[in-house]
Structure 1
């Protein structure tokens, strides 16, 4: 049946039209009508092949889904906002860890060369999850296409596809930050500290993130390689597998861990992202639900081993 529908969709005009409309209706139902809990539990069952136990969650992924549904505060919204979180960072640690901000606007039409620096920069929207538009030479960019891309992103509310409440009430804007580059002109590694109940627990290192050779290694806080992997899906269905080679321990690791724990004190679970540029630390972002609790940790036993380390809070809600 799937092969027939695929043929009709790709090879016939009427089939393409009808199936496209049906897909649009299904998308509308999933995003705007289907209850949050049902949406998330069905998604979990599809990904893991079993029902989730939200009454007694044991695995880390189960607990992340529980947090999506039950742990909601205005601070989550502020810290999911890539612009507003800057004030949180200033108050908790110091503005010296912030990536320099070149420009901020609520108007897509303001994104034009005269308002932007000559040095390399990155353009982001503050209200979604994902990367930005990297600009190394603003004179070689199709700015009409960039504004078209940003206009579409500004209209998108990430909450409706993820059900992560912290994104729902963010006022969309555009920010332009300095592009961090190594001496060789490369994007620095991402160091992501997963904190449980205010303590750094595991370290995710993303290598060559903006390339086809995106690897992801896992370490403990002593910089020893972990025996599990927790991959994400990237372009063309590729996954962020661990690399065979180890990543050199960053000189700033102790500082990174200390600062991450300071930033995580207000949350049961949070991932604190950092860039280490020649020993200088820059804050990346705070993420509360890594991959929405819907990517397997392998071998499977480590999903429960890690889950045992996370103590869930009492239910909180700002609905």
Structure 2
């Protein structure tokens, strides 16, 4: 019954649902703020193993939560929106350079009921622009009913509000159908994530096997391995070296310049760069670190007095001072 009603939801009903979501999210945020964010403190401690200090944050994860709760730059909304961020990329890089790295879009929908017939004959990534993790690889011959059902479920749901992720709340909801980028072997390419502070890349995450057996590695900008960052996924056997490495750093620093901290994600295939997304709340403040000391060290990078320091400087200071 739910599935049937979902597929027959009209645009006015979807818009009403989004407004109701937003109202509920605002009321939830207000109540929790008045109470001192007790549920957020509980979630944080459960994932990190230590108490959240919002008044004097030191660790990387505490700073992410601090940004979630207190940063209100409208650019956070635009750059979190997986569709609107494309205009931001054009503004920062210029149209010509931006179009070289933006992944082609086949279709954009506000109702997930108007996918063109020819779309079902090709593979595409279906994404919700107002969430994280709301993406699906759709292959030729996929069941349109199930695919549209999932898309409509995304449109009917807000994202991240249990942890007060403000930037997602009021994004005008859309479904994006995007070209699938594959590497020379025909696989989904490695995610390359540049962690930038004050407009400078300080460390990089290489993440492979998103749709298979995942593995990852953290490095500095010179590809020197950093141990003890986030846990739970095996290490990459080899650190990749791309001919586009320096150019990706240049673009990441340009896109992240307005923010104290932002993560810029790319793919590199055959000497060509593709833009993935800008992430403002990397890990949501709840991705567990193997080393508390590293969590502290990366937290130092948020502080303006450390903006000219390397990740190794911060690791050294954390090891001796804390």
TM-score bucket (shorter structure): 0.7 to 0.9
In the aligned structure 2, how far is the partner of 1:276 from the partner of 1:78?
A: 24
The answer to whether structure 1 residue 40 and structure 2 residue 37 are counterparts is no
Please list every run of 5 or more consecutive structure 2 residues that lacks an aligned counterpart in the other structure.
1-23, 306-322
- Which of the numbers 242, 254, 264 marks the counterpart of 1:272? 264
**Alpha-carbon shift at residue 149 of structure 1 (Å):** 0.6
| SS state at 1:35 partner | helix
Equivalent residue number for residue 58 of structure 2: 58
Is 1:124 aligned to residue 127 of structure 2?
yes
Of the three residues 278, 300, 310, the one matched with 2:302 is 310
Which whole-Å CA distance do the structure 2 matches of 1:225 and 1:246 have between them?
10
Match of 2:284 among 279, 285, 292: 292
CA contact (8 A) 2:120 2:142 kept: no
Is the contact made by 2:68 and 2:165 (CA closer than 8 Å) also made in structure 1?
yes
1:251 equivalent to 2:247? Answer no
User: What count of residue pairs does the alignment treat as equivalent?
Assistant: 274
Are 2:134 and 1:136 aligned? no
The residue number in structure 2 matching 1:101 is 105
* Rounded Cα–Cα distance in structure 1 between residues aligned with 2:271 and 2:123: 20
Question: Larger deviation: 253-262 or 40-49?
Answer: 40-49
- 2:75 is paired with a residue whose SS is helix
Is the 8 Å Cα contact of residues 63 and 312 (structure 1) preserved in structure 2?
Answer: no
Aligned pairs for 1:147-226 (under 5 A) are: 147-211=148-212, 213-226=213-226
Aligned to 2:318: none
TM-score by length of 1: 0.81
What RMSD in Å do the two structures reach over aligned CA positions?
Answer: 2.1
CA-CA distance at 1:48 after TM superposition = 2.5
- Give secondary structure in 2 for the equivalent of 1:229: coil
Aligned-pair CA distance for 1:296: 2.3
- What's the secondary structure of 2:90's corresponding residue? helix
Query: What CA distance in whole angstroms lies between the structure 2 residues aligned with 1:92 and 1:167?
Result: 22
CA-to-partner distance for each residue in 1:277-317, whole Å, 9 max, x for gaps?
1110010001111121112222221111111121279xxxx
Structure 2: distance between partners of 1:294 and 1:130:
15
Q: 2:211 and 2:64 mapped to 1: Cα distance?
A: 26
Asked whether the equivalents of residues 229 and 241 of structure 1 are also in contact (C-alpha less than 8 Å), the reply is: no
Task: Provide the rounded CA distance (Å) in 2 between the counterparts of 1:143 and 1:123.
Answer: 12
Structure 1 residue ranges without an equivalent (≥5): 1-27, 232-238, 314-319
Task: Determine the structure 1 residue equivalent to 2:13.
Answer: none
**CA separation in 2, counterparts of 1:251 and 1:84?**
29
Instruction: Tell me by how many angstroms 1:229 deviates.
Output: 2.7
1:260-279 Cα distance to aligned partner (Å, 9 max, x none): 00001111111100011111
User: Cα distance, 1:118 vs. partner?
Assistant: 4.2
The CA deviation at 1:131 is 4.6
TM-score, structure 2 length as denominator?
0.80
Q: Which residue of 2 aligns with 1:110?
A: 114
Deviations 1:182-216 (A, max 9, x none): 122100000000111111011001111111x1112
